[in-house]
Structure formats: structure tokens, C-alpha cells
Amino acid sequence: MSELAIIGGTGLTSMEQLEIVRREVVHTPFGEPSAPFIHGRLFGKEVVFLARHGPGHTIPPHKINYRANIWALDYIGVKRIIAVAAVGGIRADMLPGRLVIPDQIIDYTWGRANTFFEDGSRVVHVDFTAPYCPELRARLLEAGRELPFDVVEGGCYAATQGPRLETAAEIDRIERDGGDIVGMTGMPEAVLARELDLSYATIAVVANLAAGRGDGPVSMEEIGRNLKLGMARVRDLLEATIPLV
Ligand code: HPA
């Protein structure tokens, strides 16, 4: 049984290295997950892979059924989740192509179903002081130290609503708030994992300089190019991390 899950985001809708054993469709009390769960072996370990935006990348960030995805992973026996997410870089060292293992979150999303505990179930205020699992982060960073590129230790992930990118003023505000990188899918995914007591950490891949931090508009072509390099690095980081998990 696969106790480790990889949630792939933009630029990582499948993994060639995954030797697929079976596909599993799960229905949940919260509706349908983004895609079938792909069980297989990756770098010597059993893992399950989920394409967050759907197999053909058709689900935008604000329409993802985060509750169904996380509930289903728990239901099929997953204990640890490595989430891969494309982000914009705000802090000066968050350069395109870099990988970041964030340690904090600021949530600017709205209107997303962000708890399992509602509608007559008990009221739960889950502790979220440290939103990512420290042990899983440590494994990623330990593995990252062996690689020939930098894996940035820590950073605050600002979760925005999307699907549009931010204005330059919004990025200035997020920076004043303490945000280092910005993405659209980090929440409520992280808190839902916490509510079910799943170990959860993120590999953030810097796809672009955030709005107002580069020379002109954020270009989709640039994002595509940087994600290609970034996702090759993600594969290297996963290869180095998975034996340690
Ligand atoms: N902002 C929000 N989400 C993103 C960005 C960005 O600049 N780049 C990739 N995902």
C-alpha cells in the first residue's frame, strides 16, 4: 500500500518515472477528486500520484475540490503528502527555476471549502502554527543538500485566489505582510491535510518573478520555460528524498 502521495501541480500532471501499477477512482462524501489516483513505484518506493488540476490540466485553482482530494488520500491509506506547486517569486532570492521548501503560509483565498468540520459535525480549531510537517520538510532539505542546485530552506507561501495573477500593488502588500512566494493552490490543501493529521510538505517551484518584480508583464512563455527546468529539478529532489521517507 502506498503511504506516500505526490500531488502534482502545473507542469507536473504525470511522472514518466512512475511505474504504474493501477489506477484507482475514489468517490468521497465531498464530491469527486481531481483525477484517478495513480498507484505505482517511484524510485524504489510505492507511491500514489494525483494530478491536482486534473489529468488534462483543466481544473483552475479556485475550482479544485481540495476536500475530496485530501479526504480520498486519507481514505486510501496515505500518511504523507509531498505537494508540488508552481509559484511566483517575491523575495529577491526566489529566482525562476529555484525550488523552495516553504515553512509558513499566509492565506488570501476566499470562498473555498476549507474545513472538514462543518454542517453539524463537531467544531474543530486545528493548530496550524507550523503549517508544514517539520519532519517531511527536513527530509526534503536533507536530500536537497546532495543536489547540484540550491533548494531554498524556508519561506512564506502566500496563497492567492486566482485564477488571475496578482497586481504589482498586491505583490507589494504581500511582501509587506511577509510573503516570499505566491501561488494559488497551497490553501486550503495544507490545512485540510492537517485536519486529517496527514504529514504534508510542499516543494514550491518558482515559475516567474511575481507581478511588478520583473521587467514587464508576467509571460506565460517564460513560466513554461522555467517550469520545465524546475520540474526536472523536482524529479531529482524526489529521487533523492523518497528513499529517506
Ligand atoms: N502568482 C500566483 N500564482 C502563481 C504565480 C504567480 O506569480 N506563478 C505561478 N503560480
Is 88 touching ligand 1 by the criterion CB < 6 Å? yes
The stretch 65-87 carries a mean pLDDT of 98
Assess contact for 138 and 189: CB atoms under 8 A: no
CA–centroid distance, 19 to ligand 1, in Å, is: 30
The cell 469527486 sits on which residue? Answer: 32
- Residue type at position 103: D
Q: Which of 120, 106, 85 is nearest to 191 (CA)?
A: 106
- Residue % of the chain over a pLDDT of 70: 100
Question: pLDDT for 16-75, tens place per residue?
Answer: 888 999 999 999 999 999 999 999 999 999 999 999 999 888 999 999 999 999 999 999
Q: Is the pLDDT of residue 11 over 80?
A: no
* pTM for this model (two decimals): 0.97
Pocket test for ligand 1, best of 165, 202, 221 (most atoms within 8 A of CB): 165
Question: pLDDT for 95-121, tens place per residue?
Answer: 999 999 999 999 999 999 999 998 777
Kind and range of the H or E element at 137?
Answer: helix 134-144
Q: Where are the beta strands (DSSP E) in 124-189?
A: 151-153, 156-159, 181-183
pLDDT score at 123: 85
Question: pLDDT for 54-67, tens place per residue?
Answer: 988 899 999 999 99
Domains of the chain: 4-120+127-244 (3.40.50.1580)
User: How far is the C-alpha of 21 from the C-alpha of 41, rounded, in Å?
Assistant: 8
Q: Could you tell me which residues come within 8 angstroms of residue 96 by beta carbon, excluding any fewer than 6 positions away? A: 89, 206, 207, 208, 209, 222, 226, 230
Q: Is the dihedral of CA 41, 42, 46, 51 positive or negative?
A: negative
Is 210 touching ligand 1 by the criterion CB < 6 Å? yes
Q: Which residues are paired to 88 by β-bridges?
A: 182, 208
Assess contact for 194 and 131: CB atoms under 8 A: yes
Alpha carbon nearest to ligand 1 atom 9, residue = 87
Query: What number does the ligand 1 atom closest to the CA of 211 have?
Result: 7
